[in-house]
Amino acid sequence: MQLLVAVGGATDSRGKQKTPAPALNQCMDIAGMDAPTWAENYNNLAKGIEEHLEAIESERTQIKTKLDRLLNMEMQDRPLTVAQVAERLGVSEGTVFRLMRRRELTAVRVGKRTVIYESHLNAYIRSNMEKGA
Protein backbone atom coordinates (compact mmCIF):
# COMPACT_ATOMS: atom_id res chain seq x y z
CA MET A 1 0.00 0.00 0.00
CA GLN A 2 1.38 3.43 -0.90
CA LEU A 3 0.49 6.80 0.50
CA LEU A 4 1.20 9.77 -1.72
CA VAL A 5 1.84 12.93 0.23
CA ALA A 6 1.66 16.00 -1.99
CA VAL A 7 1.56 18.92 0.38
CA GLY A 8 3.44 22.19 0.37
CA GLY A 9 5.54 24.16 -2.01
CA ALA A 10 4.98 27.73 -3.08
CA THR A 11 1.96 28.74 -5.11
CA ASP A 12 1.28 31.80 -7.21
CA SER A 13 -1.65 34.19 -6.76
CA ARG A 14 -3.95 31.87 -8.73
CA GLY A 15 -3.10 28.88 -6.53
CA LYS A 16 -0.92 27.12 -9.12
CA GLN A 17 2.08 25.21 -7.79
CA LYS A 18 5.30 27.16 -8.48
CA THR A 19 7.88 25.23 -6.50
CA PRO A 20 7.66 21.88 -4.77
CA ALA A 21 8.59 21.49 -1.13
CA PRO A 22 11.09 18.59 -1.32
CA ALA A 23 10.59 17.38 2.24
CA LEU A 24 6.82 17.36 1.77
CA ASN A 25 6.37 15.69 -1.61
CA GLN A 26 7.04 12.09 -0.72
CA CYS A 27 5.67 8.73 -1.69
CA MET A 28 5.80 6.32 1.23
CA ASP A 29 5.07 2.59 1.19
CA ILE A 30 3.71 2.32 4.73
CA ALA A 31 2.64 -1.34 4.54
CA GLY A 32 6.12 -2.84 4.22
CA MET A 33 7.90 -0.21 6.35
CA ASP A 34 9.38 -0.98 9.74
CA ALA A 35 8.61 1.35 12.64
CA PRO A 36 11.96 3.22 12.73
CA THR A 37 11.84 3.93 8.97
CA TRP A 38 8.21 5.01 9.20
CA ALA A 39 9.03 7.28 12.17
CA GLU A 40 11.96 8.83 10.28
CA ASN A 41 9.77 9.49 7.23
CA TYR A 42 7.06 10.91 9.47
CA ASN A 43 9.58 13.18 11.22
CA ASN A 44 10.95 14.37 7.85
CA LEU A 45 7.43 15.12 6.70
CA ALA A 46 6.62 17.00 9.93
CA LYS A 47 9.87 18.97 9.62
CA GLY A 48 8.99 19.88 6.03
CA ILE A 49 5.54 21.06 7.08
CA GLU A 50 7.05 23.11 9.90
CA GLU A 51 9.54 24.74 7.50
CA HIS A 52 6.73 25.49 5.08
CA LEU A 53 4.64 27.10 7.82
CA GLU A 54 7.63 29.20 8.90
CA ALA A 55 8.06 30.40 5.30
CA ILE A 56 4.37 31.32 5.14
CA GLU A 57 4.63 33.21 8.45
CA SER A 58 7.75 35.02 7.23
CA GLU A 59 5.97 36.07 4.03
CA ARG A 60 2.92 37.21 6.03
CA THR A 61 5.17 39.30 8.28
CA GLN A 62 6.85 40.91 5.26
CA ILE A 63 3.49 41.77 3.71
CA LYS A 64 2.26 43.22 7.01
CA THR A 65 5.43 45.33 7.33
CA LYS A 66 5.00 46.69 3.78
CA LEU A 67 1.34 47.46 4.44
CA ASP A 68 2.17 49.23 7.72
CA ARG A 69 4.85 51.27 5.93
CA LEU A 70 2.38 52.29 3.22
CA LEU A 71 -0.26 53.25 5.76
CA ASN A 72 2.31 55.22 7.76
CA MET A 73 3.32 57.13 4.62
CA GLU A 74 -0.33 58.09 4.15
CA MET A 75 -0.46 59.40 7.72
CA GLN A 76 2.73 61.46 7.58
CA ASP A 77 2.50 65.22 7.81
CA ARG A 78 3.01 66.25 4.18
CA PRO A 79 3.95 69.77 3.13
CA LEU A 80 1.39 71.36 0.81
CA THR A 81 1.92 74.25 -1.57
CA VAL A 82 -0.21 77.39 -1.39
CA ALA A 83 -1.96 76.25 -4.58
CA GLN A 84 -2.80 72.86 -3.05
CA VAL A 85 -4.18 74.49 0.10
CA ALA A 86 -6.25 76.93 -1.98
CA GLU A 87 -7.67 74.03 -3.97
CA ARG A 88 -8.55 72.07 -0.82
CA LEU A 89 -10.24 75.05 0.78
CA GLY A 90 -11.92 76.11 -2.45
CA VAL A 91 -10.47 79.64 -2.29
CA SER A 92 -7.90 81.64 -4.23
CA GLU A 93 -4.18 81.63 -3.48
CA GLY A 94 -4.55 85.27 -2.43
CA THR A 95 -6.99 84.23 0.29
CA VAL A 96 -4.49 81.62 1.54
CA PHE A 97 -1.76 84.30 1.70
CA ARG A 98 -4.19 86.59 3.57
CA LEU A 99 -4.90 83.81 6.12
CA MET A 100 -1.13 83.38 6.58
CA ARG A 101 -0.57 87.15 7.06
CA ARG A 102 -3.32 87.23 9.73
CA ARG A 103 -1.64 84.20 11.35
CA GLU A 104 -4.82 82.15 11.04
CA LEU A 105 -2.98 79.56 8.97
CA THR A 106 0.55 78.53 9.93
CA ALA A 107 3.04 78.44 7.08
CA VAL A 108 6.74 77.62 6.86
CA ARG A 109 9.36 78.94 4.45
CA VAL A 110 11.41 76.18 2.85
CA GLY A 111 14.00 77.93 0.74
CA LYS A 112 12.02 80.11 -1.65
CA ARG A 113 8.85 78.07 -1.20
CA THR A 114 6.08 78.64 1.29
CA VAL A 115 4.50 75.42 2.52
CA ILE A 116 1.65 74.63 4.86
CA TYR A 117 1.85 71.29 6.61
CA GLU A 118 -1.22 69.13 6.31
CA SER A 119 -1.60 68.98 10.09
CA HIS A 120 -1.69 72.82 10.24
CA LEU A 121 -4.32 72.93 7.51
CA ASN A 122 -6.40 70.30 9.32
CA ALA A 123 -6.09 72.26 12.59
CA TYR A 124 -7.25 75.44 10.80
CA ILE A 125 -10.24 73.60 9.31
CA ARG A 126 -11.16 72.07 12.69
CA SER A 127 -10.95 75.42 14.49
CA ASN A 128 -13.17 77.10 11.88
CA MET A 129 -15.67 74.24 12.04
CA GLU A 130 -15.86 74.72 15.82
CA LYS A 131 -16.36 78.50 15.42
CA GLY A 132 -19.14 77.96 12.91
CA ALA A 133 -20.95 75.29 14.94
- What's the pTM value of the predicted model, to 2 decimals? 0.43
Q: pLDDT: is 100 or 123 the higher one?
A: 100
In tens, the pLDDT along 60-77 reads 999 888 877 776 665 667
With 50 as the cut, is the pLDDT of residue 106 above it? yes
Q: Indicate the residue type of 33.
A: M
pLDDT of residue 3: 42
Per DSSP bridges, beta strands 10-11 and 79-81 are unpaired
- For 32-76, the DSSP string reads T--HHHHHHHHHHHHHHHHHHHHHHHHHHHHHHHHHHHHHHHHHS
Closest CA to 89 of 42, 47, 41, 122: 122
- 79-to-83, 98, 107, 121, 131 alpha-carbon distances in Å: 12, 19, 10, 10, 25
pLDDT of residue 26: 47
Distance between CA atoms of 7 and 26, rounded to whole angstroms? 9
With 90 as the cut, is the pLDDT of residue 95 above it? yes
| Cα within 13 Å of Cα(85), Cβ side | 28
Q: In the chain, what are the domains?
A: 3-75 (no CATH), 79-132 (1.10.1660)
In tens, the pLDDT along 9-58 reads 555 556 665 555 544 444 445 556 677 777 888 888 889 899 999 999 99
Distance between CA atoms of 43 and 8, rounded to whole angstroms? 15
With 60 as the cut, is the pLDDT of residue 4 above it? no
Q: pLDDT: is 82 or 75 the higher one?
A: 82
